[in-house]
Amino acid sequence: MNLLKASDYKDLSRKAANVISAQVILKPDCVLGLATGSTPIGTYKQLVEWYEKGDIDFSEVKTVNLDEYCGLSPDNDQSYRYFMNQNLFSQVNIKLENTNVPNGLAADYEEECSRYDKLIAELGGIDLQLLGIGRNGHIGFNEPDVSFEKTTHIVNLDESTIEANARFFQTIDEVPKKALTMGIKSIMQAKKVLLIANGPDKKEIIEKALHGPVTPDVPASILQFHPDLTVVYCFD
């Protein structure tokens, strides 16, 4: 496990972007596993800056995102596809057809999960998976008590998650109740994992996840068994 302490959020974002950039330079047609949430925004911003300077080329890069809400279309500003298009894909020279997010509008979600697993396998697996972490230790939408054996699957969102998300929607009825997410097994099969955690409210869970018992109660704790894990953190 490689633990990198950052001095502030900008430093964390630069360090994480450096790891991603190194991956793209070493293997220009690599498969990046990407994440949404507030933490990676600075990392994506840094990558865009380096792209604009000519320091990084995404023309052959392929991406697979961790998760998506069920029922939200790509042009809904709360969908993760929208987030990725806004924060990264539309700002660099990646080919949109090489970017993948689970389809939240699929007619058959089970089929969509199988398609996503197959797609990852056909791409040759994920070279580098970027992850944020929830305060309860979730990674992707793998909430506590998850099975470590799952690949892409459907999850029912916790009541607390639905309530927390309500602020982004007109009414609580519009808040998605389900999501599609890569499973712990999918994440563990990535060749490298880069976990980023920012702010004092992530300190306790990072300590538990990296130094506590490996248990489904703390989904991220499984990462202790990953052979190539880098953690970039700033708790200030």
Site residues for ligand PGA per CB under 6 A: 37-39, 132-134
Q: Of the residues 67, 68, 112, 127, which is catalytic?
A: 67
The residue among 59 and 156 lying less far from ligand PGA, judged by its C-beta, is 156
The residue among 104 and 132 lying less far from ligand PGA, judged by its C-beta, is 132
Q: Are 88 and 13 in contact (CB under 8 A)?
A: no
Active site residue 153: no
Question: In angstroms, rounded to a whole number, what is the distance separating the alpha carbons of residues 177 and 161?
Answer: 9
CA angle in degrees (0–180, nearest 5) for 170-172-177: 125
Q: Of the residues 18, 76, 98, 136, which is catalytic?
A: 136
Residue of minimal Cβ distance to ligand PGA: 37
Query: Exposed (0-12), middle (13-18) or buried (19+): which is 200, by Cβ within 10 Å?
Result: exposed
CB of 86 to ligand PGA, least distance (A): 15
Active site residue 136: yes
Question: In angstroms, rounded to a whole number, what is the distance separating the alpha carbons of residues 87 and 51?
Answer: 13
Active site residue 8: no
Give the residues across from 149 on adjacent strands.
none
CB of 131 to ligand PGA, least distance (A): 7
CB of 140 to ligand PGA, least distance (A): 7
CA angle in degrees (0–180, nearest 5) for 33-107-100: 15
Active site residues: 67, 136, 138, 143
